[in-house]
Amino acid sequence: MKPVSLSFASLAALLSGVSGLARVSQRSAPNPNCFPFGSQARLNADLQPPHVSREEWWCPQSDFYGFLGFSFPFQFTNEDFEVASISSHMQQMKRQFGATMIRMYIPESYTTQLWENVLEAAILNNMGVVVQVAFPISGSQLSWEKVLETTLFETLSNSKYSKIAPYVIYAAEYLNEPVGDCDMCAAGSTGNASAPASLTNLTMGMSNFRKEMNKHGIPAGISEDWDRPNLMSGAPGSDGLGVGLGVVGKALEPVLDFIHAHVMAYYHNIQVDDAWTYTANQVLWYKKYLPQFPLIISEMMWATGYNVLHAGGYITGFAVAEVSVADYTKFWKTVDANCAFLKEHNTAYFIHAWRQQGTLNMLQNDGSVVIPNWKPKKWC
């Protein structure tokens, strides 16, 4: 990754002078001074934190429902992760979709530079961020995940962003589907994340990560699909959903501040016409069995066509899903049409994904988007 060649102030002046920051036409939060939804809440370009507590700065949990923004992958170290590039993406998300936040997905950041660049771009565009540390899935050594954690902790503790970072970072995700992929399974494991040694690895890792994030007032949780009967959820009931928490879910519950849910009809052999029913039932499951936690659906997706990297098509037999631009559009517009349900159950979501995920992407190679002239509801 190349070093940033422009100062923050000069970059801000350059970008604002060309086109200004994208303006969101939707109504604002009831409290105009809360972030990131309030019309008067602005991050300081001089990197000084707001003159209020972190709790007072962020909008109340009741405001966190409906569309937040995009799951924004930073998966490949050879991509252009300069501040200007990240900022350009953020401006497009705001301008075309009304996004107020991003969720960092699989950030390959083995120095502090990517974290710093994302923070700069978020401050410039007045956007909130959910950060993630996760095992790389593009060929890097799994042991590098600890390096990834260290670079985040260093940015939070010893960079010029230390004071303002908790006002930019809303929450933190630990790993990415580590139970499904058995990422923390002990050496010699048979692939069952509930095995005692593997479960200890996972819960201790989550606990240690949470402690570090909590030092800065940032809540943390695991980034997972809890629709894993006998693991995250309990044994299946008559409706096919796990009843209560499974052995892994029970072990994780005491070390979480937050639920970063993967609600993925796409991977559960659900057709597009039934996808919302599945999604709503999942939301109700979380509210029944984990009611004490804030809930964000951090990964939810559909595809515009067969996806060789993230197969949801019948070709592989891995999952059966109807995939086309029409199905993709129908899926997301159906989610949007159910804003009132999301409000009732205080559930917000990110669209997965903005880029780098093949036919799951909203952004196309030519800079256009799959669903033009559409702003999902943040308020209803």
Does residue 379 lie in a domain region? Answer: no
pTM: 0.91
Name the residue among 276, 309, 285, 290 with its Cα closest to residue 137. Answer: 309
Does residue 101 lie in a domain region? Answer: yes
Higher pLDDT, 3 or 37: 37
Specify the CATH number for the domain of residue 30: 3.20.20
**Contact status, residue 295 vs residue 261, Cβ threshold 8 Å:** yes
The arithmetic mean of pLDDT across residues 17-21, rounded, is: 35
The residue written with tokens 């006998």 in the block is 230
- The CA distance from 316 to 328, in Å, is 19
Q: What average pLDDT does the structure give for the chain?
A: 89
Q: pLDDT tens-digit profile of 73-115?
A: 998 766 778 999 999 999 999 999 999 999 999 998 889 999 9
Q: Give pLDDT, residue 145.
A: 82
Does residue 325 lie in a domain region? Answer: yes
- The CA distance from 219 to 259, in Å, is 10
**Contact status, residue 220 vs residue 228, Cβ threshold 8 Å:** no
**Contact status, residue 222 vs residue 206, Cβ threshold 8 Å:** yes
Does residue 375 lie in a domain region? Answer: no
Does residue 306 lie in a domain region? Answer: yes
Does residue 365 lie in a domain region? Answer: no
- The CA distance from 321 to 302, in Å, is 9
Does residue 329 lie in a domain region? Answer: yes
283, two tokens: 């939301």
Q: Domain range for residue 269?
A: 8-360
Exposed e or buried b per residue across 130-148, where buried means at least 16 C-beta atoms within 10 angstroms of its C-beta: bbbbbbbeeeeeeeebeeb
Number of structural domains the chain divides into: 1
For residue 29, whether the previous peptide bond is cis, meaning omega lies within 30 degrees of 0, is: no
